[in-house]
Amino acid sequence: MKKLLLLIFFGISQVFFAQADCATALAVCGNSNITYSPTGYGDIKELVNSGSCIDATGEHNSIWYKITIATGGTLTFDLVPNNPDADYDWAVFGPNVTCGSLGAPIRCNAATVIGVGPSTGLNMTSTITNALGGTLTPYCKYLDVLPGQTYYLFIDNWVSSTSSTTAPFSLTWGGTATLASPFTDPNTQPYPFNPPGIPAANPADPREVIICVNPAVFDFNTLSSGILNGNPNFNVSYHTSQNDALTGSNAITVPTIVNTTSVYYYSIGYTDPANPISPLNKCKQIGTFKFKDGKITAKNATLTQCNNNNAGTAIYDLTTADVIADPNVTKKYYNTLSDLNAGINEITNPSAFTSAEATIYVKVISSFGCTAIAQIMLKFHPVVVVSDTTLRSCSIGSSPSTASFNLAGAIVTTLNGAVKKYYPSATDAANQTNEILTTGAYIAPSGVVYVRVSNAQGCFNIAKITLVVIPPVYSSTLKDKTICVEDKTTLDAGPGFNAYEWSTGATTQTITNVGVGSYWVKLKTGDCTVVQNVKVYPSEQPVVSSIEISSTTVTVFVIGGTPAYKYSMDNVNWQDSNIFTNVKRGDATIFVKDSYDCDPIDISIVVPNLVNVITPNGDGYNDFIDYSALANKKNLVMNIFDRYGNMIYQIDKFSGYKWEGTSKGGAKVPTGNYWYSVGWNENDKMSTPIKYSGWIVVKNRD
């Protein structure tokens, strides 16, 4: 272990002083500018007795560079101290010489140029190749160079008892020649290098690598692959100073505590796989960066949503929770803190997350990978309080199974400013489909509707309104009546109603002195009113359909009306039988009435005074039957039949309504008994048929 530590220490020491000796000169890579602050002179004072212009002054704070020419031409440079009081001397050896056999320098300058404009170097105008100290000749003549040539440049910050100023220098190249570099050859560097971190607010400041805690233990190697960007044969090291970065000294090789105030350097180096001693292997490209505190802080937030219809859950958009102002962060949501820490069971639908009241944990990740944790409290808005209710409404007269309901009048909530919408089903109310728009006069049978009640936050609850059609209440007492047309009656709507209104204007339960006609009454029960119609019909008058008269017996046949019938011949004495006997000959009146006992109908009849025996012998007595007295009757006809029922003669107006005991041919009939039948229609409005029948004896003495 002690040997290992010794070797490490020795290696670090050698690297630290290597750039101050020729054998370990730094390679100049390309025509890029160089800034450096030399310290010390290395292990060998190679300029003593070198035959150069600075033999006498020797080495103080020096640096060696090896230059390889890529394309020929002229080569110049400007060496400018960063402090005008600093005094720099230099010498160029070559071409193609080796350390230990450098020979005399081909250009050398030790001129004193302290003061304003202390720059020195090679330019295209000077003709001097060697400027001794004190000559005040800062520039020497340019070099003509060829491809592949190598040169060594020695630079020394001279210090004496009168001048002890040390300061960095800037070295820039000029002329037409170009210097070899692996960083400008696409064959060696096919891809651009990527500087670490992000640009600072001031582009002149070092780039910034984000750390999530400050100070932090940082592994610089995590930057390497990004910087090298896939370029083969390159490596990168990290340092705390520019000089170390240029020389590769004191590289940071293990995770190190870093802060946000120090400047750090990265150094890109090349290794020629075909030539391990190639001067290009010493080329360095350096850059600077700082660490920036990228710690993010998340804050807890609360999301409040609607527990609609008392479902016990709400839909939350977790992405709207104000946990951080940065819009470029990534957020991951978890149900528990343990899930978040384990990175499992992430909520995959944060923009439409259904949940009861709960606490959700969100991991906030910045674009630089810094994280923070916040809680999102899921809360419910106050529940919209509703209650089911019932609406009762009077039935519609034309459609008694339905009623008109004022849905807006249903009290389902006491919430001020509530918005209510009505639907035929609970599903419609939840989905807001098939809204009922006729809320003030909704025609429906008994059933239910649903009202969606919403508050100012858009939360809703659904209440049920039961619709009850109040059936019409009619009077069971009030019935149609039939009365005699000349009579009056009383109509009674019956008790139990709150109000009555008749078509006659009466407001009593009954109306009297009512004649034949149509009437209505409005019956009020509670808040409902129905209209009940009632009719008073005239009784149907009986009609004498026919009358049969046989000798002095009169039989009356009646139809219509309402049996039982009553019969009378004097409108005083009434009988149930329709047969009258011993009726006097001549004119008579028959009266008939039915069970309504209305004014009777009457019909006039004639009971003929018929001769029962005729002796047609021409003596002037009973020679013929004469019914001419009935000639004014309609359809008067008399038929004579023999005892066998054969009609032998018909008396009509052509015979003068007389029969003299002859047959149809005019021959006298034999003495004997004959049956006759006389019929006519009375001259009343019913043309009542009258039938009169009997027997007659004919005595012919011839």
What number of other Cβ atoms are within 10 A of residue 582's Cβ? 8
Tokens of 598: 């209305």
Residue 596's pLDDT is: 87
Cα angle for residues 369, 374, 377 (degrees, 5° grid): 150
Cα angle for residues 387, 390, 392 (degrees, 5° grid): 160
Question: Residue 410 sits in which domain range?
Answer: 389-470
Residue 356's pLDDT is: 96
Tokens of 284: 């360095």
Residue 42's pLDDT is: 83
3-state secondary structure 361-392: EEEEECCCCCEEEEEEEEEECCCCCCCCEEEE
- Which tens digits make up the pLDDT trace of 661-680? 888 877 888 888 888 888 88
- pLDDT of residue 656 exceeding 60: yes
154 vs 620, higher pLDDT: 154
Residue 251's pLDDT is: 96
3-state SS class at 429:
helix
Residue 391's pLDDT is: 95
- Which tens digits make up the pLDDT trace of 142-186? 999 999 999 999 999 987 656 668 889 999 999 999 999 898 888
Same domain, 592 and 630: no
Cα angle for residues 557, 562, 564 (degrees, 5° grid): 65
| pLDDT tier, 60 (very low <50, low <70, confident <90, very high otherwise) | confident
3-state SS class at 563:
coil
**For residues 212 and 288, what is the distance between their CA atoms, to the nearest angstrom?**
20
Residue 114's pLDDT is: 61
Least confident range of 14-23, 69-78, 168-177, 613-622: 14-23
Cα angle for residues 513, 497, 501 (degrees, 5° grid): 45
- The reply to whether 293 falls in a domain is no
Residue 96's pLDDT is: 95
- The reply to whether 2 falls in a domain is no
DSSP 7: H
- The reply to whether 8 falls in a domain is no
Q: Of 179, 194, 216, which residue sits at a domain end?
A: 179
- The reply to whether 508 falls in a domain is yes
Tokens of 101: 């056999």
Mean pLDDT of the chain: 88
- The reply to whether 651 falls in a domain is yes
- pLDDT of residue 5 exceeding 50: no
Q: Kindly state the average pLDDT of the residues 51-62.
A: 80
Q: Is 142:122 a contact under the CB 8 Å cutoff?
A: yes
Residue 631's pLDDT is: 77
**For residues 123 and 132, what is the distance between their CA atoms, to the nearest angstrom?**
17
- The reply to whether 687 falls in a domain is yes
Q: Kindly state the average pLDDT of the residues 502-519.
A: 94
Residues 6+ apart with CB under 8 A from 8: none
Q: Kindly state the average pLDDT of the residues 691-701.
A: 80
Residue 1's pLDDT is: 28
Q: Of 448, 470, 492, which residue sits at a domain end?
A: 470
Of the candidates 690, 697, 675, the residue with the CA atom closest to the CA atom of residue 583: 690
Which backbone phi and psi does 435 adopt, to 5 degrees? -65, 140
Q: Of 162, 179, 196, which residue sits at a domain end?
A: 179
Same domain, 533 and 455: no
| pLDDT tier, 394 (very low <50, low <70, confident <90, very high otherwise) | very high
Same domain, 276 and 221: yes
Q: Is 638:658 a contact under the CB 8 Å cutoff?
A: no
Same domain, 588 and 612: no
Residue 639's pLDDT is: 86
Same domain, 486 and 576: no
Same domain, 97 and 41: yes
Of the candidates 413, 416, 435, the residue with the CA atom closest to the CA atom of residue 424: 435
**CATH no. for residue 156?**
2.60.120.380
Q: Kindly state the average pLDDT of the residues 512-533.
A: 93
Tokens of 594: 């039915």
Same domain, 251 and 275: yes
Same domain, 36 and 136: yes
Tokens of 480: 């149609």
Residue 9's pLDDT is: 26
Of the candidates 173, 164, 81, the residue with the CA atom closest to the CA atom of residue 124: 173
**CATH no. for residue 591?**
2.60.40
Residue 423's pLDDT is: 97
- The reply to whether 78 falls in a domain is yes
Q: What is the pTM of this model?
A: 0.55
**For residues 101 and 434, what is the distance between their CA atoms, to the nearest angstrom?**
104
Q: Is 612:582 a contact under the CB 8 Å cutoff?
A: no
Looking at residue 418, its amino acid is A
Q: Is 642:671 a contact under the CB 8 Å cutoff?
A: no
3-state SS class at 693:
strand
Same domain, 60 and 137: yes
- The reply to whether 100 falls in a domain is yes
Same domain, 575 and 629: no
**For residues 456 and 298, what is the distance between their CA atoms, to the nearest angstrom?**
30
Tallying the residues shown for the chain, one arrives at: 702
Please state the domain count of the chain.
7
Secondary structure element (H or E) that encloses residue 430, with its range? helix 426-431
608 vs 432, higher pLDDT: 432
Residue 7's pLDDT is: 26
Cis peptide bond prior to 424, omega within 30° of 0:
no
Tokens of 198: 């992000």
Q: Kindly state the average pLDDT of the residues 223-251.
A: 93
Same domain, 42 and 160: yes
Same domain, 318 and 441: no
- Which tens digits make up the pLDDT trace of 327-361? 999 999 999 999 999 999 999 999 999 999 999 99
**For residues 140 and 109, what is the distance between their CA atoms, to the nearest angstrom?**
7
| pLDDT tier, 3 (very low <50, low <70, confident <90, very high otherwise) | very low
Q: Is 206:200 a contact under the CB 8 Å cutoff?
A: yes
Would residue 698 be called left, alpha or beta, if left means φ above 0 and alpha means ψ between -120 and 50 degrees? beta
Percent of the chain at pLDDT exceeding 90: 60
Residue 116's pLDDT is: 58
Of the candidates 494, 487, 478, the residue with the CA atom closest to the CA atom of residue 535: 478
- Which tens digits make up the pLDDT trace of 372-390? 999 999 999 999 999 999 9
Burial group, residue 327, by CB count within 10 angstroms (0-12, 13-18, 19+): exposed
Question: Which residue bears the tokens 């070198």?
Answer: 50
